[in-house]
Amino acid sequence: MTDSPLAQAHGRYIRGSASKVRRVLDQIRGRTYRDALIMLEFMPYRSTGPITKVLRSAVANAENNLGLDPSSLVIKTASADMGPSMKRYRPRAQGRAFAIKKQTCHISIAVAPSTESSSTEASD
């Protein structure tokens, strides 16, 4: 494994199920920062809003803390884990109660400089 700098960001207690967030994260994992932003902008899912915020935060961490150029960054890891579920109840017929679980998830994104750009610079 290489020792390239890695910048991370986490979004915690995001409303929405982890499985619905994962289907978006699977699409942007391994892409450049710019490509991922364009894809997120045009996807029809509600989870793209919080994912965009976490991605921008990870890139801001890379820029401010590690001094990396945002145009050279690639999404190395992107994951969504289950958070706690809020329990709510809905009244049903004959005095019964129907349990509703409002799910939350934790989003984690890590970005690192592209290895392709460093290998092309070394060969020049």
Domains of the chain: 7-123 (3.90.470.10)
User: Does 120 have pLDDT greater than 80?
Assistant: no
Q: Is 56 exposed, middle or buried (0-12, 13-18, 19+ CB in 10 A)?
A: middle
d(CA 16, CA 34): 25
CB 78 within 8 A of CB 29: yes
Global pTM value? 0.86
Coil, strand or helix at 22: helix
User: Does 2 have pLDDT greater than 60?
Assistant: no
User: Does 122 have pLDDT greater than 70?
Assistant: no
User: Does 1 have pLDDT greater than 60?
Assistant: no
pLDDT band at 123 (very low <50, low <70, confident <90, very high): very low
d(CA 52, CA 37): 7
pLDDT per residue as tens digits for the range 43-69: 999 999 999 999 999 999 999 999 999
CB 58 within 8 A of CB 79: no
